[in-house]
């Protein structure tokens, strides 16, 4: 990980991330998680976890617990079968986004129901504004609109986005070669740009899948250009 002190910019290349690989799971960690500990990469504002997981067919995470965390799941390939202690039992597919508030405590499982296809997803954890909230759940199918920066998570559920218990917004964009999106950055906010698939160019840097840029204390117009087809980016706007 490299940091520019003049621009308050963090650059994480795909190979800078932590890595966990077991029989059924291949996972890369943008921040410290589980057995991966990096004191220089603990969190970014309220953003605590971005795990890039590939789960083998007919495998997954058994029932386990969380509390006091906003958990967001974005499906990149395949589908995940979700069950939880709130009584939800559902399938989440590519194009859908799941938001679960663990609050004062929830248990859930995540399983790849396919008998032959791997599941690829991003799991994101954001710290909530307050502890001990009542657990809640939502998921939504978002139409993929190439070349547009689309709001998918926000504190007020603006523009049809899913609600989150934090002053944080998540945008996504699907870009093909020749397409770009831009976002005005302000010095009183933090911004994290994560490449989910493909490659992009932003702030003079080419980022491959798994790479990221973080910005704080800076005013600028950030232009994000596709450097390949099938580029999928997630942009976090954080307090």
Task: Scan for tokens 């390939």, then name that residue.
Answer: 77
Question: What is the count of structural domains for the chain?
Answer: 1
Q: Return per-residue pLDDT of the chain as tens, 239 residues.
A: 443 333 489 999 999 999 999 999 999 999 999 999 999 999 999 999 999 999 999 999 999 999 999 999 999 999 999 999 999 999 999 999 999 999 999 999 999 999 999 999 999 999 999 999 999 999 999 998 899 999 999 999 999 999 999 999 999 999 999 999 999 999 999 999 999 999 999 999 999 999 999 999 999 999 999 999 999 999 999 99
Closest alpha carbon to 182 in 206, 202, 159, 204? 202
Q: Are 158 and 126 in contact (CB under 8 A)?
A: no
Q: The domain containing residue 144 runs over which residues?
A: 2-238
| pTM of the shown model | 0.95
Report how far residue 170's alpha carbon sits from residue 62's, in angstroms, rounded to the nearest whole number. Answer: 28
Q: Are 233 and 196 in contact (CB under 8 A)?
A: yes
- Does residue 63 come out as left (phi exceeding 0), alpha (psi in the -120 to 50 range) or beta? beta
**CATH code of the domain in which 162 resides:** 2.60.120.10
């Amino acid at each position: 990980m490299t940091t520019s002190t003049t621009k308050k910019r963090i650059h994480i290349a795909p190979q800078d991330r932590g890595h966990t690989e077991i029989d059924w799971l291949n996972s890369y960690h943008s921040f410290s998680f589980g057995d991966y500990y990096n004191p220089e990469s603990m969190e970014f504002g309220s953003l605590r976890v971005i795990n890039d997981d590939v789960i083998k067919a007919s495998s997954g995470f058994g029932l386990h617990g969380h509390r006091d965390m906003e958990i967001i799941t974005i499906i990149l390939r395949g589908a995940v079968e979700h069950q939880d202690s709130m009584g939800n039992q559902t399938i989440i597919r590519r194009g859908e986004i799941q938001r679960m508030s663990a609050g004062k405590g929830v248990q859930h499982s995540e399983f790849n129901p396919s008998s032959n296809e791997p599941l690829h997803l991003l799991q994101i954890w954001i710290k909530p504004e307050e502890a001990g909230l009542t657990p809640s759940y939502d998921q939504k199918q978002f139409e993929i609109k190439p070349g547009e920066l689309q709001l998918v998570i926000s504190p007020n559920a603006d523009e049809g986005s899913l609600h989150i218990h934090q002053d944080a917004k998540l945008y996504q964009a699907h870009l093909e070669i020749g397409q770009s999106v831009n976002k005005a950055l302000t010095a009183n906010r933090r911004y994290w740009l994560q490449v989910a698939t493909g490659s992009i160019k932003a702030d003079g840097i080419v980022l491959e899948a798994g790479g990221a840029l973080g910005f704080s204390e800076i005013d600028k117009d950030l232009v994000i250009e596709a450097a390949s087809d099938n580029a999928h980016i997630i942009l976090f706007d954080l307090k």
